[in-house]
């Protein structure tokens, strides 16, 4: 219960009237009468505030949230009073949620409902809880306000940003993946398995004509092939402290998760199976899964992955992958390489290459590259430019040394990493290297 601004103004006016009555005694009856009248009106207005049971709030949440993506939330407000209510509404948002359009202030009509729609997005993945909504109700005359906490608590999950997956699915339906930057390359016979025989169609190459079947049926018959399936892809994200750095509004780890979702979806669509195991503090293991139900399984496994403050041990990660994955697979190691990683990473990849094909994906900080193009106007800026050039040279030397050891690498910014990884995976599959 709290007085409104109008009440405070009336009390201030009554106080001024009291000061005047102390100077001119003839005004004392007016002052006393005004005070009694104000108290009676204030108490009557106080009783006009509704009971909590007469208010109702229902919250409608999306099925899931994607990290950093705005989604609409609907609050349905009702009350059972026979008069309109002036109300100020703020939802019980989790600490990691940001909302647009709140607080909302307006009038709730008598015996009707109001749908309040606002946009919200999360800055952190995981399980989040919405507490009951906050309703600040004004009394009939506006002398009092009362805060109510009403409505149910709601739980929701925030997943990595799967917008690239949805976009790819829509474009793939129309066979227009190239609009997203994904190029499917096919090398004849490299990774194609026989699928079926069918009648010859215009455009079929003569090398695929089955002459024995043609002679039996007296009509041209072609052999149809399909991509090899049932291959294994193991995603190994770095969950150590180096991935906690911010790149835009998201951490580098979140950008890696977004890229993992896209390549997982493409691999599942190709008929391959996908598994996940982290290193650098998080060592959860998801056995390779495939088929239609696999994508929700991957989402539910990845949505609450978190980075830690522990260092990343590449050799330990390699030993763990070798113990968990006995069958040959494509190992996707996602990290942010440093110049001191050369020795340990080379040993780890050499261990993995005894059985698997390894692809090392490293994030390139877009902010570092942007600073190289800024004008230099002081000695400090010149020293900073020189340090950044030295860092870039060391990074390039590190990548060159990895490629010299026949290690497949992808070095891209966070925005380009999903497409670059998808294209490299398709290239490796087309070349028959998995």
Task: For residue 255, count other CB atoms closer than 10 A to its CB.
Answer: 24
Task: For residue 344, count other CB atoms closer than 10 A to its CB.
Answer: 15
Q: Which helix (H) or strand (E) holds 402?
A: helix 379-404
CA distances from 158 to 15, 123, 198, 234, 419 (A): 54, 9, 47, 23, 23
Residues in CB range of 242: below 8 A, 6 or more apart? 252, 280, 312, 335, 336, 338
Looking at residue 303, the DSSP 8-state letter turns out to be T
The two beta strands, 285-289 and 144-150, are: unpaired
CA atoms within 13 A on the CB side of 46: 10
Please give the model's pTM, rounded to 2 decimal places.
Answer: 0.68
The two beta strands, 113-122 and 2-3, are: unpaired
The values of phi and psi at residue 2, to 5°, are -150, 145
Q: Contact at 8 Å (CB) between 275 and 326?
A: no
User: From first to last of its 434 residues, what are the pLDDT tens digits of the chain?
Assistant: 788 888 888 888 888 888 888 888 888 888 888 888 888 888 888 888 888 888 888 999 888 888 888 889 998 988 888 888 888 888 888 888 888 888 888 888 887 888 889 999 888 888 889 999 898 888 888 888 888 898 888 888 888 876 666 565 545 444 444 544 555 555 444 445 556 677 777 666 667 777 777 778 777 888 765 555 678 899 999 888 888 887 777 788 888 888 888 888 888 888 889 999 988 877 889 999 988 778 888 888 888 888 888 888 889 989 999 999 988 999 999 988 877 777 788 888 889 988 899 999 988 876 666 677 778 878 887 887 787 777 777 778 888 888 887 888 888 887 888 888 888 888 888 777 77
401: burial class by Cβ within 10 Å (0-12, 13-18, 19+)?
Answer: middle
Beta strand residue intervals within 373-425, DSSP E: 408-412
Retrieve residue 193's tokens: 């398995």
The per-residue pLDDT for 226 is: 56
CA distances from 398 to 175, 372, 391, 392 (A): 38, 20, 11, 10
CA distance 33 to 21: 12
120: burial class by Cβ within 10 Å (0-12, 13-18, 19+)?
Answer: buried
Residue the block writes with tokens 């109008």: 6
Helices (H), 24-105: 28-47
**Cis previous bond, 103, omega within 30:** yes
């Amino acid at each position: 219960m709290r007085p409104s601004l109008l009440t405070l103004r009336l009390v201030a006016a009554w106080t001024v009237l009291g000061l005047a009555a102390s100077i001119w005694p003839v005004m004392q009856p007016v002052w006393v009468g005004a005070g009694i009248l104000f108290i009676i009106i204030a108490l009557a207005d106080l009783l006009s505030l509704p009971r909590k049971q007469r208010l109702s709030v229902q919250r409608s949440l999306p099925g899931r949230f994607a990290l950093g993506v705005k989604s609409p939330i609907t609050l349905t407000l009702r009350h059972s009073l026979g008069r309109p209510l002036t109300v100020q509404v703020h939802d019980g948002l989790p600490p990691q949620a940001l909302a647009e359009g709140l607080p909302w202030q307006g009038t709730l009509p008598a015996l009707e409902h109001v749908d309040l729609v606002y946009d919200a997005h999360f800055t952190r993945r995981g399980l989040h809880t919405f507490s009951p909504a906050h309703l600040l109700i004004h009394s009939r005359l506006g002398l009092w306000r009362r805060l109510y906490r009403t409505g149910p608590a709601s739980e929701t999950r925030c997943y990595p940003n799967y917008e690239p997956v949805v976009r790819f699915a829509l474009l793939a339906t129309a066979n227009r993946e190239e609009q997203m930057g994904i190029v499917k390359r096919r090398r004849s016979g490299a990774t194609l398995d026989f699928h079926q025989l069918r009648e010859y169609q215009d455009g079929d190459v003569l090398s695929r004509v089955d002459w024995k079947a043609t002679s039996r049926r007296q009509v041209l018959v072609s052999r149809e092939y399909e991509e090899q399936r049932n291959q294994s892809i193991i995603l190994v994200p770095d969950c150590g402290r180096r991935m906690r750095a911010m790149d835009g509004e998201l951490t580098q780890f979140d950008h890696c998760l977004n890229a993992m979702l896209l390549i997982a979806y493409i691999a599942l669509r190709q008929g391959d199976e996908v598994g996940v195991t982290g290193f650098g503090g998080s060592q959860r293991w998801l056995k390779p899964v495939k088929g239609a139900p696999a994508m929700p399984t991957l989402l539910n496994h990845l949505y609450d992955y978190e980075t830690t403050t522990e260092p990343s041990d590449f050799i330990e990660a390699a030993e763990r992958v070798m113990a968990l994955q006995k069958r040959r697979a494509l190992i996707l190691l996602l990290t942010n390489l440093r110049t001191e990683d050369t020795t340990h990473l080379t040993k780890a990849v050499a261990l993995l290459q005894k059985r698997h094909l390894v692809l090392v994906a490293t994030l390139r900080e877009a902010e570092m590259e942007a600073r190289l193009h800024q004008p230099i106007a002081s000695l400090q800026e010149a020293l900073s430019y020189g340090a950044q050039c030295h860092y870039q040279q060391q990074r390039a030397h590190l990548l060159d040394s990895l490629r010299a050891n026949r290690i497949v690498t992808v070095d891209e910014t966070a925005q380009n990493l999903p497409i670059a990884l998808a294209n490299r995976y398709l290239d490796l599959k087309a070349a028959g290297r998995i």
